[in-house]
Amino acid sequence: MSPAFRLSAGSGGLEWPQVLALLAREARTPMGRELATATLSFERGASEGSAGASGMGGADLERLIALLQNAPPELRDDAVLRDRVAALAIEATRDALNALPADAQDRLVGLGLAGIEEYDAGKGWEKHLAPLWILSTAFYWQQGFPAGKTITVEHSYKPSVGSTAGLSFGSKEMRTGPYYEDYARKYCFDRTFLAAVDKRQKPDGNNTLMENRIEYILTTAANWAGNIRNFRLTIDKGSPDNLVSFCGEGVSKTGPTRFEMTKENFYPEEDLAIMILTPAPWAQ
């Protein structure tokens, strides 16, 4: 086989106004009207500064997710709408943690399941709990293969992307200890990459970038036997303003945002991990 992977940064899909317009069009059906009402209620709450659990409760969130599962494909598969629902779920989780009694919060912090975040959102310093547990999602499907025939298998999908509001290594003081060393080794940070990160910092020391992490398993559960005869990896960081770092040998830059690596008889010894840093919305 000759697998080739194409990974790109950026949300793609429909913009939020287009999603709302599509919802309005689909509102001609009972399910569409229910979905439009639930989603527009969230959008209205967001515009009034009450998005999250304060604008939609946990039961409403579950109802919206259930409706999306039966929504038209152009809505169900849209990255923008999925990101909005994911952000809503994260906010609901944070609000649930903050609503716990002080002793329960202390236990979660002591167990390493939650961390304390302190920040000033314009109303003075606030202290909140943030979830620290890891969510793992497995994707699979059933596939039938005809006996005695040679077939070609091609995979094409949008990978899950992990994001962080800000950088976990934004300052030189944060680049110490086992955690950072493992992080830097995983994504192969080098001096050029870190210098570019430092150049983006504001004079007051605040960073202007967000982390976007993409991983692909190459070593286990591979559907090829032996070495990969012709391996080609293409990574597009999405914008010239973005920064990218990943491990690879013989990588060449083939465009303003595109990087490629080709190998013959390639036997992967490590999984693929890509770090793409994008400008933070608050810094633009």
Task: Give per-residue pLDDT as tens, 49-87.
Answer: 433 333 445 555 666 666 666 666 666 666 666 666 666
* Higher pLDDT among residues 260 and 136, named by residue: 260
User: Which of 259, 207, 220, 213 shows the shortest CA–CA distance to 236?
Assistant: 259
pLDDT computed for residue 46 by the predictor: 42
For the chain, give the mean pLDDT: 74
Query: Which pLDDT score, from 0 to 100, does residue 68 have?
Result: 67
Residue 95 within a domain: no
The pLDDT of residue 228 is: 84
Q: Does residue 87 contact residue 119 with C-beta atoms inside 8 Å?
A: no
Q: Could you tell me which residues come within 8 angstroms of residue 240 by beta carbon, excluding any fewer than 6 positions away?
A: 256, 257
- Token digits for 89? 């779920």
The sign one gets for the Cα dihedral 238, 243, 249, 255 is: positive
pLDDT at 178: 83
Q: Has residue 163 been placed in a domain?
A: yes
In this predicted structure, the answer to whether residue 140 has a pLDDT above a threshold of 90 is no
Number of domains in the chain: 1
> CA 153 to CA 140: how far, in whole Å?
15
Angle between helices 58-69 and 30-47 in degrees, nearest 10? 140
In a domain, 98, yes or no: no
Least-confidence region, from 101-105, 134-138, 233-237, 250-254: 134-138
pLDDT of residue 243: 96
Strands 4-8 and 228-236, by their bridges, are parallel
Cβ–Cβ contacts within 10 Å for residue 30, how many? 8
Is 256 domain-assigned? yes
* Cα–Cα distance for residue pair 81/60, rounded to 1 Å: 16
Between these two residues, 163 and 185, which has the higher pLDDT value? 185
Does residue 108 lie within any of the structural domains?
no
- Would residue 280 count as lying in a domain? yes
Would 247 be classed as within a structural domain? yes
* Residue-range definition of the domain harbouring residue 258: 159-284
Reported as a single tens digit per residue, the pLDDT across 226-250 is 788 889 999 999 999 999 999 999 9
- Report if residue 198 sits inside a domain: yes
Does residue 213 carry a pLDDT above 60? yes
pLDDT at 40: 46
DSSP one-letter string for 107-143: HHHHTTSEEEEEEESSSSEEEEEEE------------
